[in-house]
């Protein structure tokens, strides 16, 4: 009997309970126990009793897309696809359930979302819509948050999925975009050409600068070489002048020495010429005259030059010219 009772209680408990899945939260409502409870129940199995229930809320981020017919600033009709990402505020589930209920998107977020989107699109031209998606998304998100403030929901972001234009508008936009692309392409080409020309000019200027620097270095080198050559020529000329002066000085000294030597020789010869050598030279001269068939008349020996008969110590001449007589048999 006790086992059967426990089994019945387990079956009854399972039949009177509910499960909250991961990513969800719940609120217990029991009309016999004070109605809706404030405590937020975590994922798991929870007992509700025979009369109770669990109000389940998905607290993960949810995306809902809206397709809306609206108009642009110019009054052109547009079909836009806009999505909102949202979730309930977990700590405010009791207020959300009591004030709005589980269908809070249909009751609050959806209407406010569509109204905010139409208002933003009506403030922009169709060209702005084609080019300023992010700005339009931010405007719708800001307006939607303002509208749902205090409604116990969190708006994460708004995305513009697509815009459909009337065929003639789409063709005009396409033509305009193609024209803008062509203009941008031409601008890029012109910018590239200008940049290429600028680079060429810079390279040419750099080449001219390098050439000028090279020519300046060459001119400087030539000046330095010319200076060095002039200094070398000056040194060579100075050396040659010194050599000439040295040579002239040596020649002068040589001539002086030769003249001194000749003078000394003549002096020596003069000192070595004795009276006997003079007499012998005189006889040699007379002999030379006699060989040529000349006749010599001496006449009075007193007039014969004394140098022909010098007085030699130890030698007595045959006649003495000073006495005016000649040896016998020696006149002619």
Q: What is the pLDDT of residues 213-263, one digit of tens each?
A: 888 899 888 888 888 888 888 888 888 888 888 888 888 888 888 888 888
Quickly count: other Cβ atoms within 10 Å of residue 149's Cβ. Answer: 9
Give Dmax (Cα) for the chain: 223
Task: Supply the pLDDT for residue 17.
Answer: 78
**Per the domain annotation, does 249 fall within a domain?**
no
How do residues 282-303 score in pLDDT, each as one tens digit?
677 766 666 656 565 555 555 5
Q: Indicate whether 87 and 143 sit together in one domain.
A: yes
Task: Supply the pLDDT for residue 316.
Answer: 53
Residues 6+ apart with CB under 8 A from 220: none
Q: How many domains does the chain have?
A: 3
Q: Indicate whether 52 and 72 sit together in one domain.
A: no
Q: Indicate whether 113 and 37 sit together in one domain.
A: no
Q: In the listed set 57, 85, 100, which residue is the last one of a domain according to the structure?
A: 57
Residue 75 or 327, more confident? 75
pTM of the model: 0.48
How do residues 138-191 score in pLDDT, each as one tens digit?
999 999 999 999 999 999 999 999 888 767 666 666 677 778 888 888 888 888
Categorize the per-residue pLDDT at 5 as very low, low, confident or very high, splitting at 50, 70 and 90.
very low
Residue 21 DSSP label: P
Categorize the per-residue pLDDT at 26 as very low, low, confident or very high, splitting at 50, 70 and 90.
very high
Kindly tell me if the per-residue pLDDT of 104 is higher than 80: yes
Query: For residue 113, what are the domain limits?
Result: 61-165
Q: Of the candidates 25, 179, 1, which has an alpha carbon nearest to the alpha carbon of residue 90?
A: 25
Task: Supply the pLDDT for residue 34.
Answer: 83
Q: Indicate whether 35 and 87 sit together in one domain.
A: no
Percent of the chain at pLDDT exceeding 90: 32
Q: Indicate whether 53 and 66 sit together in one domain.
A: no
Q: Indicate whether 41 and 133 sit together in one domain.
A: no
Question: What SS3 class is residue 78?
Answer: strand
Task: Supply the pLDDT for residue 49.
Answer: 79
**Token duo for residue 186:** 């031409």
């Amino acid at each position: 009997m006790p086992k059967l009772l426990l089994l019945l209680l387990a079956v009854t408990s399972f039949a009177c309970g509910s499960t909250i899945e991961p990513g969800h939260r719940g609120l217990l409502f029991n009309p016999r126990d004070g109605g809706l409870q404030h405590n937020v129940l975590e994922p798991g199995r929870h007992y509700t009793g025979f009369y109770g229930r669990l109000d389940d809320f998905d607290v993960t981020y949810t995306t809902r897309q809206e397709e809306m017919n609206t108009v642009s600033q110019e009054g052109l009709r547009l079909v836009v696809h806009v999505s909102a990402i949202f979730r309930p505020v977990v700590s405010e589930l009791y207020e959300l359930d009591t004030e709005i209920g589980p269908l809070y998107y249909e009751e609050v977020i959806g209407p406010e979302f569509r109204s905010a989107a139409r208002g933003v699109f009506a403030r922009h031209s169709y060209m702005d819509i084609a080019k300023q998606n992010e700005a339009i998304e931010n405007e719708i998100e800001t307006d939607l948050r303002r509208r749902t403030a205090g409604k116990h929901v969190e708006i994460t972001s708004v995305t513009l999925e697509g815009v459909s234009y009337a065929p003639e508008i789409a063709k005009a936009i396409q033509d305009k975009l193609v024209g803008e692309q062509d203009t941008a392409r031409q601008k890029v080409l012109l910018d590239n050409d200008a940049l290429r020309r600028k680079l060429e000019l810079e390279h040419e200027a750099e080449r001219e600068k390098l050439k000028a620097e090279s020519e300046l270095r060459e001119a400087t080198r030539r000046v330095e070489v010319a200076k060095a050559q002039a200094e070398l020529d000056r040194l060579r000329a100075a050396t040659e002048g010194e050599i000439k002066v040295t040579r002239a000085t040596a020649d002068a000294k040589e001539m002086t020495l030769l003249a001194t030597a000749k003078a000394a020789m003549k002096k020596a010869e003069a000192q070595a010429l004795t009276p006997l050598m003079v007499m012998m030279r005189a006889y040699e001269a007379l002999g030379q005259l006699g060989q040529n068939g000349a006749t010599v008349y001496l006449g009075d020996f007193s007039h014969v030059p004394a140098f022909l008969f010098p007085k030699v110590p130890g030698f007595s001449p045959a006649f003495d010219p000073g006495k005016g007589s000649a040896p016998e048999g020696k006149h002619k």
